[in-house]
Amino acid sequence: MSQAARRILIRLAMALAFGLVGARLALAGPPFITDDPEPVDLGHWEVYAFSAGAFDAHDGTGVGPSLEVNYGAAPNLQLHLIANLAYDLPQGAPRQFGLGDTELGFKYRFITPKESDWFPQVGVFPLLEVPTGAASHGLGAGQVQAFLPLWLQKDFGPWTTYGGGGYWINPGLGNRNYWYSGWLLQRQVTRKLALGGEVFHTTSAQVGRSGVTGFNLGGQYDFTEHYHLLFSAGRGGLLYAVDAARVNDPFTYYLAFQKTF
């Protein structure tokens, strides 16, 4: 089969996939929940100052100001850290603000196709949530949590699509282990601006609560080669919530200033 025919077939397959998942529309990781397999280049850094949260008609919960740091430690290997300040704004109770949970992880890309190849990049990005926040004040999970995902990505000119999912290990009273899956589509609209969106689903993470399907729309604006603004907003993103039990069908947001070097 010729390379041109392979490109046509993969485009048709991706279009069919979008149709099957409801036209799931994004960017690499932040400002979205769904991530990608592409690590930071060897010896380079990504540093984000950000805030993210979830609100319904009565309550709000989230993190910020928070710091995310990614470093290209080896070819195809990225080390990852998020240090959080967290907030919980329950209706009719004292508002809480303080140290949140800490996230550690690494991203490893084990399939790196050439640009002319039809198959996607593939990688893993296991995460560990360390309970450094005060769970008694709604500022943390109170338990070590882990996420074990597999991510895929393919580029088509100005378009990028990626997604996948994995399994959350979610111990604690009333909690359940659960699955996350999501897919995204992003377009480089201008030299400085990229826009996209995601659709995602989680199975039930707590006893007595059903799974969540949600979406985010957002993008990235590049002030310069090294300074970037990232933003998104949507519905249903309980992974943005520090105390997810407090919010129902929330409005969510993510806002970050990023430096790359």
Residue 228: predicted pLDDT: 98
For residues 241-257, give the mean pLDDT: 85
Q: Which residues contact 93 (CB under 8 A, 6 or more apart)?
A: none
Of residues 161, 152, 123, 99, the one with CA closest to residue 39 = 123
Query: What pLDDT, on the 0 to 100 scale, is given for residue 136?
Result: 87
The residue written with tokens 């048709």 in the block is 12
* pLDDT value, residue 111: 96
Q: What are the domain boundaries of the chain?
A: 23-260
Are the C-beta atoms of residues 190 and 228 closer than 8 Å to each other? no
Amino acid at 58: H
State pLDDT tens for residues 40-94: 999 999 999 999 999 988 889 999 999 999 999 999 999 999 999 999 998 888 8
Model confidence at 244, in pLDDT bands (50, 70, 90)?
A: confident
Question: For residue 129, which of 96, 167, 83, 94 has the smallest C-alpha distance?
Answer: 83
* HEC secondary structure over the chain: CCHHHHHHHHHHHHHHHHHHCCCCCCCCCCCCCCCCCCCCCCCCEEEEEEEEEEECCCCEEEEEEEEEEEEEEECCEEEEEEECEEEEECCCCCCEEEECCEEEEEEEEEECCCCCCCCCEEEECCEEEECCCCHHHCCCCCCCEEEEEEEEEEEECCEEEEEEEEEEECCCCCECCEEEEEEEEEEECCCCEEEEEEEEEECCCECCCCCEEEEEEEEEEECCCCEEEEEEEEECCHHHCCCHHHCCCCEEEEEEEEEEC
Lowest mean pLDDT among 105-109, 180-184, 213-217, 241-245: 241-245
Query: Mind listing the pLDDT tens digit for each residue in 142-172?
Result: 999 999 999 999 999 999 999 999 999 999 9
Predicted TM-score (pTM) of the model is 0.85
Nearest one of 32, 8, 12, 9 to 185, comparing CA atoms: 32
So what's the architecture of 23-260 in CATH?
Beta Barrel (2.40)
Can you tell me the mean pLDDT for 212-239?
Answer: 94
Quote the distance between the C-alpha of residue 130 and its chain's center.
18
